[in-house]
Amino acid sequence: MANIENQKFIALDISEKNYLSWVFDVKLHLNAKKLRHTIEEENAATNEERATALIFLRYHIDDDLKYEYLTVENPLELWQNLNDRFEHLKTVVLSKALND
């Protein structure tokens, strides 16, 4: 996780520990940058918007994840890949919260 002092928030850890908070932070920051649509289905983002969002996402993920998804050139595809990988955490955390 190089350049952590320049990050807006803690990068997504490959251990999955901070996925849910990371998702929330990313959505907030992309909203503020008017780039949230780049991670939504059937968006009309420009190439510049996609590149900016992809740079932002890659900057805020663990170096091992960055390497694993090295060939992904679309922020929506990266977002979906990460969601597919970590989405099971939503079920685990939410069901635990409901049972507490």
pLDDT tens-place string over residues 39-67: 999 999 999 999 999 999 999 999 999 99
Kindly report the pTM of this predicted structure: 0.80
User: Mean of the pLDDT values across residues 5-18?
Assistant: 78
Domain ranges of the chain: 32-98
Which of 84, 57, 73, 64 is CA-nearest to residue 13?
64
Contacts of 2-9 with C-beta under 8 Å, sequence gap 24+, read 2/63, 3/59, 7/59, 7/60, 8/60, 9/60
Task: Work out the average pLDDT over 70-90.
Answer: 91
